[in-house]
Structure 1
């Protein structure tokens, strides 16, 4: 198996654990955490942000799966949002969970 595939599989497994348990919550920035797995190119084409964020969204899905494949908090947003709409990779730390009330004013909260 190539190193790229192994890294992607490891990253996906780690992401599932992180999203499901917050067991890896830390002071490490999400962008820095992802950069450790391959530099800025692990999320950005040629290390530069795309104009519309679509490339980065595809990169998220290649490791973490589509929103439709995720839990009940993510699936309803499939086709409407991109990961970075809620998870600000350069502003959030590993294990941070965005709250639903940043968009919804009906008292929902991420569990």
Structure 2
């Protein structure tokens, strides 16, 4: 292969990585994405789920911040919910967002609560 062709391929690969919004693909399971970072221990002590989910909740907050530090959708849930109450890491994929009607039956949406 010519040096120009190899340089072009390498440059295209670097550009694609630089323009990529994330190294994790939407559609990938949340738990799988987190496990790629540090195994099951990324979320679970000794790789095993805790009985009450508190350890996992603390792990979420150590990377993503507290609910109160997050956006207006998360802030009202501070002190009432843990992340896994809405984000099911072994059932949801990267890019999936829980909906308000999962818990609220009054027709609210994230968009309507932020107005």
TM-score, normalising length: structure 1: 0.77
3-state DSSP of counterpart to 2:110: coil
Unaligned runs of 5+ in 2: 1-20
Q: Which residue of 2 aligns with 1:44?
A: 44
Q: Which residue of 2 aligns with 1:64?
A: 64
Return the alpha-carbon distance in structure 1 between the equivalents of residues 85 and 110 of structure 2.
15
For CA contacts below 8 A with separation 6 or more, give which structure has more relative contact order: 1
- For the aligned residue pairs, the C-alpha RMSD in angstroms reads 1.6
Deviation at 1:110, TM superposition (A): 2.9
Q: Which structure would you say has the larger Rg?
A: 2
Q: Which residue of 2 aligns with 1:108?
A: 108
CA shift digits 1:20-55 (9 cap, x unpaired) = xxxx66110000000010000000000000000000
How many pairs were matched up? 90
TM-score, normalising length: structure 2: 0.74
Q: Which runs of 4+ in 1 moved over 2 A?
A: none
Deviation at 1:75, TM superposition (A): 0.3
